[in-house]
Amino acid sequence: MLRNSRLASRFARTGVLQARASPRTSSLQQQHPSSLLSSPSSPPTTTTINTFRLASTTTTTPPNDTQTTPDITNHYTIFKQTLPAGPPPSSPFNIPTADLRREFLRWQSLIHPDKYPQGPQKQQAEALSARINEAYRTLLDPLQRAQYLLREMHGIDVTAEDGASKHALDAETLMEVMEVQETIEEVTDSGEDAAAAEEKINELKVENQGRVEEDTTHIFMIL
């Protein structure tokens, strides 16, 4: 219990002040692709994705790779070239972002919706392209990556605002959060020129980013 409270407190330092444990305990490796490829307007089914894969193999030929559509089981399987070992603890928390971007651009060049005529195949390409975008943005940002891993691997949603199960903040974390808020208020109310205010806020961002990387690395070492 103490360890969970400390973990939640660490995430609060990054500005995420609420956390709750989800009733599910799913594993990334066990999730089905159709459960992750979701769209609010028209979620594609496994059948439509498989149809798109078969059709795309006849219309596109990727350079130096026979795979024409990604494995959408989870964010990590989409970028198998960059992250072959999958999510932590099988791999480090930190990832090579330059390699991730190259693989992302490769997928988007292969599955860009503009390559397909109007119709079901174009809609499937749009859904798959959005899925790749979501995975890329999540993995690129350390905080979003940590939130994703905690939610999908450990059933802990640190972004939840449900008051039913909040993790209490320890006194040290609460003081740090209050200090950051006060600093931001002082910058915005001090009447300083925009450049000076932006510089101070950027300093806070750099400091906060360092805390994110340090805390998330520590968390996944002990989970």
pLDDT tens digits, residue range 35-59? Answer: 433 333 444 444 444 445 534 444 4
**pLDDT number for residue 23:** 41
Q: What whole-number distance in Å separates Cα of residue 69 and Cα of residue 53?
A: 6
How far, CA to CA in Å, does 42 sit from each of 48, 192, 208? 11, 48, 38
Please list the pLDDT of the chain residue by residue as tens digits (223 residues).
444 445 444 544 444 333 343 444 444 544 444 343 333 344 444 444 444 553 444 444 444 455 788 999 999 999 999 999 999 889 999 999 999 999 999 999 999 888 888 889 899 999 999 999 999 999 999 889 988 998 888 888 877 765 444 444 456 665 666 666 666 667 666 666 667 777 777 777 777 767 666 666 666 665 5
Could you tell me the two tokens for 183? 């600093």
Taking only the tens place, the pLDDT of each residue in 116-151 is 888 898 999 999 999 999 999 999 998 899 889 988
Indicate the fold that domain 26-154 takes in CATH.
Helix Hairpins (1.10.287)
**pLDDT number for residue 166:** 45
**pLDDT number for residue 73:** 94
pTM of the model: 0.52
**pLDDT number for residue 191:** 64
Total residue count of the chain as it appears in this document? 223
Q: What whole-number distance in Å separates Cα of residue 69 and Cα of residue 111?
A: 8
Domain ranges for the chain = 26-154
H-only helix segments in 79-154: 97-110, 120-140, 142-154
**pLDDT number for residue 156:** 83
Q: What whole-number distance in Å separates Cα of residue 221 and Cα of residue 198?
A: 35
